[in-house]
Amino acid sequence: MNIEKQVLGLIKLSDYIKSYLAENTEDFNENDSEFESVVKKSEIENPWFTIENQKSALKQWSDLLTEENLNAWLTKYSTSKTTKKVGLILAGNIPLVGWHDVISVVLSNHIPLIKLSSKDKQMIPFLLKKWKEFSDNEIEYEFVERLTDFDAVIATGSNNTARYLEYYFKNHLSIIRKNRTSVAVIKGDETEEELKLLAQDIFQYFGLGCRNVTRLFIPEDFVIDRVFESFIDFKEIINHNKYANNYDYNRAVYLLNQDQFWDNNFVMLKEDEKLFSPLSVIHFSRYSSLEDVKNFIQENNEDIQCVVGKNNLGIETVYFGEAQNPGLDTYADNADTMQFLEVI
């Protein structure tokens, strides 16, 4: 396979996506109706994949797949001289969550054997087809229902699924990813704009991604109302039927149990030490010392995908509003996929 043509194909794919996203431009043509059909079909098959959320994911990828970004990423690695078959068991919690694994395998000179998530069956095949066209057919891949003939595997699933996968693939080279979530640290001196950006890290993709914030660390004297005020731009989220069902259920449980919680009619805040919170609920805890926060994050490092906050906390952070915009060299579970693919 010709990696130069593959990279050029990705750049053309990026331009194609941008053309689709930019309405009423000269570049918009009859081929974009096929793109629109895929987006609409994805939403019908999985109501969590709203057209807005799919377009957000597409925009993020079209911004990433530039010549500069791709070259800066790929120059850090050596391309495998031997082509292997790499099984990919993809997640489907948010749109295009498995796309990074797909392009990583292809650009490492391997062949991905792709087991799609039942929740995300339309967009990745469509983008792969287009990428192959834009690369003069210099891409090889297969879609499979069951992995049988492969040299390595990269799989993503729940903690329960991961235990099964670790056993099933115990004799193979593998990366097995588990459940993770993200946290945010509020210092107390954040501007209203920064808190609004934090709301984006919480609510984008309905909070279903591992990079969505489900736990807040708040100073002891912080006024909780400031957080609720920053959420107001996302009030329409309650009009989504599946989200509203989760909200109604969790609220009913808290009321029956006489739990203390704060409610603004579309999301609840609950003081709780747990990292993972139910959908439509954000856990928070108050702290007196940032050292306590750092210790908690270190102790729970294997369950935390990223920490959102200011860059002067003394820990590695992602700035407010950037949680769902990882770079090409940002890897799920901090497992360097490209390095793994170099040596299989």
Residue 24: per-residue pLDDT:
45
Report pLDDT for 80. 85
Confidence of residue 29 (pLDDT cuts 50, 70, 90): low
Alpha carbons 303 and 180: distance in angstroms, whole number: 5
With a cut of 60, say whether residue 27 has pLDDT above it: no
The answer to whether 223 and 190 have CB atoms below 8 angstroms apart is no
Q: Please write the tens of the pLDDT for every residue from 101-131.
A: 999 999 999 999 999 999 999 999 999 999 9
Mean of per-residue pLDDT scores for the chain = 95
| Least confident window among 76-80, 113-117, 177-181 | 76-80
Tell me which of 50-64, 113-127, 157-171 is least confident. 157-171
Q: What domains appear along the chain, each with residue ranges and CATH number?
A: 3-179 (3.40.605.10), 181-308 (3.40.309.10)
Q: Helix axis angle, 3-21 relative to 51-64, nearest 10°?
A: 140
Are 311 and 319 in contact, with CB atoms under 8 Å apart?
yes
Q: Where are the alpha helices (DSSP H) in the chain?
A: 3-21, 32-45, 51-64, 67-74, 99-107, 123-134, 159-168, 192-203, 225-230, 241-257, 290-299, 337-343
How many CA atoms, within 13 angstroms, populate the side-chain half-sphere of residue 41?
A: 13
DSSP state of 188: S
Nearest to 198 by CA among 219, 227, 223, 224: 227
Model confidence at 314, in pLDDT bands (50, 70, 90)? confident
- Dihedral over alpha carbons 159, 162, 163, 167 (to 10 degrees): 180
Instruction: Provide the pLDDT for residue 162.
Output: 86
CB 95 within 8 A of CB 49: yes
Distance CA 108, CA 320 (A): 32
Q: Confidence class of residue 313 from pLDDT cuts 50, 70 and 90?
A: confident
CA dist 62 and 96 (Å) reads 12
Distance (Å, whole) CA 290 – CA 212 = 21
Is residue 240 pLDDT above 70, yes or no?
A: yes
